[in-house]
Amino acid sequence: MKKIGFLATLVVALFTSCSESEYEFHQTYFTPQEPNGKILYADQVSDSTRVISYDPWTASTYFNTGTDAWFSITPTECNFKAGEQFASMRINIQGSVNNTGKIRSGHIVVKSYDTVGMPVKQTTWLNIIRPFGEVEKYDATGNLLPEENRKMTFKGQTIATTNQFEIEFIVYADGATLTSDAEWLIPATTTFNAGRHVVAIVAQENFATQPRTATLTLSSNGISTPITITQAKTNNQ
């Protein structure tokens, strides 16, 4: 009987051990999963991400040596309630306007059964959707610029005759403005609250025999980004 009892105990122990290792599941990840990490624009002071985890976790920020901590996060931990199998929790990101002239970067690090991280960057330019921007990766001598020193330029083109086109952007603060430095290039709307905007731009006919350029300037939260518009020359002169 003692031998039978011992064998029964051994079988239960082995079964329990196998069950725990076979069915145990651990996973922690950010959602949505963004290949380039979280991008904040120069006038944007807050954002959020979400962590899905099957284990309790703690979160912290990480910045390279010599880099000031430019954003903070809340909450910094997640503890499961009894009976919960996993948790989906939002992490709030709180920063400041980027008026440093350099792209800022850091990381959110979540430690759980595994450790996962997500880059967080803040641009020096505003979120202009149209016209498309182009990153300046090289300096005047052709040398590759460090990422923090790269700029974004926005350029658009329009035909010589009187016409209307649109630009599109998102601003993250009320009181944004759009101005033009030329009388022939006229925004239909010039002041904006926070949000996404599509703005009609009227370009008056170019009677000159050469192309001409003007600059639209979008300003939000103390940050300004220029948009250069080139109008074609007249063809019948």
- Interatomic CA distance for residues 166 and 188, integer angstroms: 10
* Higher-pLDDT residue of 214, 82: 214
Is 67's pLDDT higher than 80?
Answer: yes
- How would residue 117 be classed by pLDDT, with cut points 50, 70 and 90? very high
Summarize the confidence of residues 186-203 as an average pLDDT. 97
- How would residue 236 be classed by pLDDT, with cut points 50, 70 and 90? low
> Sign of torsion, CA 77 82 88 89?
negative
Burial-class residue 120 by CB neighbours within 10 Å (0-12, 13-18, 19+): buried
Give pLDDT tens digits for 83-94: 678 889 999 999
Residue 4, pLDDT score: 46
Summarize the confidence of residues 213-218 as an average pLDDT. 98
Residue 7, pLDDT score: 40
Q: Domain 127-231: give its CATH code.
A: 2.60.40.10
Is 20's pLDDT higher than 70?
Answer: no
Give pLDDT tens digits for 124-149: 999 999 999 999 999 889 999 999 99
Sorted by sequence, the CB contacts under 8 Å of residue 80 that are 6+ apart come out as 55, 56, 87
Give pLDDT tens digits for 32-60: 988 889 999 999 999 999 999 999 999 99
Residue 220, pLDDT score: 98
Sorted by sequence, the CB contacts under 8 Å of residue 128 that are 6+ apart come out as 154, 167, 168, 169, 218, 225, 227
Q: Contacts for 116-119 with beta carbons within 8 Å, 24 or more apart?
A: 116/28, 116/29, 116/30, 117/62, 118/30, 118/34, 118/37, 118/38, 118/49, 119/36, 119/37, 119/38
Are both 26-122 and 127-231 of the same fold? yes
Residue 25, pLDDT score: 82
Residue 22, pLDDT score: 53
What is the CA 188 to chain-centroid distance, rounded?
28
Residue 162, pLDDT score: 86
Is 203's pLDDT higher than 90?
Answer: yes
Q: Say how many residues make up the chain.
A: 237
Domain ranges of the chain: 26-122, 127-231
Residue 65, pLDDT score: 85
Q: Domain 26-122: give its CATH code.
A: 2.60.40.10
